A and B are shown apart, each in its own frame.
Chain A
Amino acid sequence: MTKNNQKDKNRVLMVGNHIIGQAAIEAGCKFYAGYPITPQNELTAYMADNMPEAGGVFIQAESELAAISMIFGASVIGERVMTSSSSPGISLKQEGISYLAACKLPAVIVNMQRGGPGLGNISPAQSDYFQATKGGGHGDYHTVVLAPNGSQELFDLTYLAFDLADIYRTPVLVLGDGVLGQMAEPVTLKPSFKHEKTKVDKSWALAQTKNKEPKVVKSLFLEYGALENLNKELKKTYDIIESNEVRAETFYIDDCEIILVAFGATSRICKKVMMTLRNEGLKIGMIRPITLWPFPKKIISDAAHKKVKFLVVEMNMGQMVEDVRMAVFGKSEVHFYGRTAGIIPSEKEIIKKIRSLS
C-alpha cells in the first residue's frame, strides 16, 4: 500500500504524444525535426516547447523528407535523434529510413498511425503494420518496431528505443496510433524497467575528425560484392536482435481455448474482452506482441496446438494475422477480426466474433 502511494504521488496525467516527447528528452535526445500532421501534432509541439530548455535542438522542417534527412545528419555526428509523424508522413520518410538502415545510423522514428491508404483520415488505425515490420523503404533491411499500448509503455519503450538504436546501430520505430497519442493516462516519468546507462561506442561518428583518419558513412556501394557484404553484416545484427530483443505479454495461454492476439490500442480492448469473458467462464487467453519486429514467433508457435484457436484483432484488414499464421504453421485455426480506416473495433463486436468461434 505504501509502495502504491509512493508511486501515485509522482504520477502525472499526460497525453501519449507528450509522454513520448518527455521520454525522448529523458533518454537524451538532442535533435528533433518534424513536420505537423494529425494525430501526432502534440508531440511536435511538445518538442518545440521543451527541447531548447533540455539543451537540444528542435526544428520544424519544411517537409517530412527534410525532417528525416535532418535527423540523418545529426545522427551521423553521434547525437541521439528523433523524428515523428503519422502514416502519410511516415511514407514520405521511408527513403530516409532506408538510408539510415544502410548507413547503420541510430535513430528513433515515431509513427502515430491514422487511417489509410492515401491521405486517408485522421482517426486511429494500425494499417501500417506491413510497412513498419517488412522494411517500409527499399532494400534488405529491418527496423526494430516497438508497439506500446498505454502511458507507461509509451514512456518506457520510447526510452528503450534510443538504447536499442545505439546498441544495434539501427533505426527503431515506435508504432503507436491516434488513440495512444490522444489519450491521457497517469504516468511516472522514469523508466519502470531496470535501466543501466548504456555506454555505446560511437567512434564511427563523423565528429572530432581533425588530424585523424578520415571516416566514411555511406550507403552507395558499387564495387562487386561490397553491398552484399553490408547486407550480410546487417543480417548478422538482425539475427542478434531476433534472439535478444523479442518482447511480448501473455495471459492465460496455458489455460485457454481461444487466444486473442493484438497489439497497441487494440490489445487494450481485447484485454477487457478477455476479462469480461473469463468472468463468464469462457477460457480466453491473450498474446500481446510488444516488439512487432522482432516478432514473438516462438511464443505464438509454442502456444499453438490442435485444441486452441487463435483470433487476431487489428485495426486493419488483416496484416499481423499473416505473421501469426506463419508462427502457428497450421497447428491451430487462425481467425481474424478487424475494423479499418479509423474505426475502432468495439468490445461487443469482438465478443460476437469470439462466440461465433466457440
Chain B
Amino acid sequence: MYKEIICSGFGGQGIMVMGKLIANAAMKENKEVTWMPSYGAEVRGGTAHSKIIVSDKPVASGLFYEPQDCIVMNRPSFIKFEHVIKKNGLMIINSSLVSDKTDRDDLKIVRIPATEKAKELGNIKVANMVALGAYQRITNLVKLESIIAILKDVFPPYRHIMLDINKQALHEGVKLADEYKS
C-alpha cells in the first residue's frame, strides 16, 4: 500500500490540520507517513495545501506532484489540482464552494457540502472535518476511531473545547459519504 494525498483549500480552512490528522492516525496504525505543508508567503484566504504519504514501507521521498487522492475545499484548489490527480484517482469536492464540472471522466468524484454542513453544526471552521469524515468513509485508509483518538494530540489544549464539534463533524462527513454513494 502506497498512497499520495493532497488536501487543499484556502488558509484558515484547516487544510494543514486535515493532513496532520491523516498522517498521525496512519502513524498510530503503524504505517510509514510523511506530511509536507505548502509554505510560502502565505496569507489567510490564500491557497494552501498539505501533501501526505501513507505507506507500508519507509517513504523514500515526501515530495510528489500527482496525488492519487485529492480533497479540494475551494475553487482555486479545484482548478489547481483537477488535472494533476493520477488516472482513476479520487477527488472529494466541497460542493458548497465548488460547483464546477470536471472534464476528467476517469476520476472518482464525491461531492460533499462540507461548508453548509459545518454551518448547520454551528461552526463553519469544521468543514474540513466533514470532508475528512467523508474521505475516511470512502477510502478506509485509516480508521475513524484513529482520527478521533488523535484529535486531542493534534489540537492545542486551548482548542480542546472544540473536540466535540469536530467529532460530530467527522461523523456527519461519514453520513454524507454514505448518502452520496446511495
A, B from the same assembly: yes
Binding site for B on A (CB under 8 A): 4-5, 8, 11, 13, 38-39, 122-123, 178-179, 182-186, 265, 268-269, 271-272, 275, 344, 346-347
The residue of chain A having its C-beta at the shortest distance from the C-beta of B28 within the complex is A8
Most buried by B among A123, A178, A186, A269: A186
Docked CA distance A4–B36 (Å): 24
Complex CA–CA separation, A13 to B40 (angstroms): 22
B23, B33, B60, B62: which contacts A179 (Cβ < 8 A)? B62
Given A184-B23, A268-B60, A268-B61, do A179 and B36 touch, yes or no (CB 8 Å)?
yes
A345 closest partner in B (C-beta): B63
Is there an interface contact between B60 and A182, defined as CB atoms closer than 8 Å? no
A184 contacts B39, CB within 8 Å?
A: no
B41 CB-CB contact with A under 8 Å: yes
Roughly how many angstroms separate A268 CA and B36 CA in the complex, as a whole number? 14
A-B pair number, CB within 8 angstroms: 58
Q: Which of B24-78 contact A (CB under 8 A)?
A: 24, 27, 30, 32-37, 39-41, 59-63, 65
Mask: chain B, 1-41; 1 = CB below 8 Å from A; 0 = not: 00000000000000000001001100100101111110111
Cα separation A182 to B36 with both chains bound (whole Å): 6
- What's the minimum C-beta distance from A17 to chain B, rounded to whole angstroms? 11
Bound together, the chains give a CA A269 to CA B34 distance in angstroms of 14
Q: How far is the CA of A123 from the CA of B40 in the complex (A)?
A: 7
Known contacts being A13-B23, A269-B63, is A182 close to B34, with CB within 8 Å? no
The answer to whether B60 touches A11 (Cβ under 8 A) is no
Shortest B43–chain A CB gap in Å is 14
Q: Is B62 in contact with A185, judged by CB distance below 8 angstroms?
A: yes
Cα-based distance from A11 to B153 in the complex (angstroms): 13
Chain A residues near B59 (CB, 8 Å)? 185
How far, in angstroms, from A265 to B62 measured CA to CA in the complex?
9
A272 contacts B39, C-beta separation under 8 Å: no
CA distance A224 to B42 in the complex (A): 56
B40 close to A186 (CB less than 8 A)? no
Shortest distance between the CB of B16 and any CB in chain A (Å): 10
Bound form: Cα–Cα A4–B57 in Å: 12
How far apart are A127's CB and chain B's nearest CB, in angstroms? 18
* B30 and A4 contacting across the interface, CB-CB below 8 Å: yes
Q: How far is the CA of A184 from the CA of B34 in the complex (A)?
A: 6
Q: Which residues of B contact A272 (CB under 8 A)?
A: 60-61
Give the complex CA separation of A8 and B27 in angstroms: 8
Contacting residues, chain A, for B24 (C-beta < 8 A): 13
What are 14 pairs between A and B in contact, CB < 8 Å? A13-B20, A13-B24, A39-B39, A182-B37, A183-B36, A184-B20, A185-B62, A186-B32, A272-B61, A275-B60, A344-B63, A346-B63, A346-B65, A347-B61
B27 CB contacts on chain A under 8 angstroms: 8, 11, 13, 186
A123 to B38, CA, bound (A): 10
Separation in Å of the B159 CB from the closest CB of chain A?
Answer: 16
Q: From residue B182, how far is it (CB to closest CB) to chain A in Å?
A: 35
Q: How far is the CA of A56 from the CA of B104 in the complex (A)?
A: 56
The residues of A that contact B41 with a CB separation of less than 8 Å are 122
The CA of A346 and the CA of B65, in the complex, are separated in Å by 9
Enumerate chain A residues within 8 angstroms of B61, measured Cβ to Cβ: 268-269, 271-272, 347
Q: Which residue in B35, B40, B60 is a CB contact (below 8 Å) of A183?
A: B35
Q: Considering the chains assembled together, what is the distance between the CA atoms of A183 and B27 in angstroms? A: 15
Cβ distance B96 to chain A, nearest Cβ, rounded Å: 29
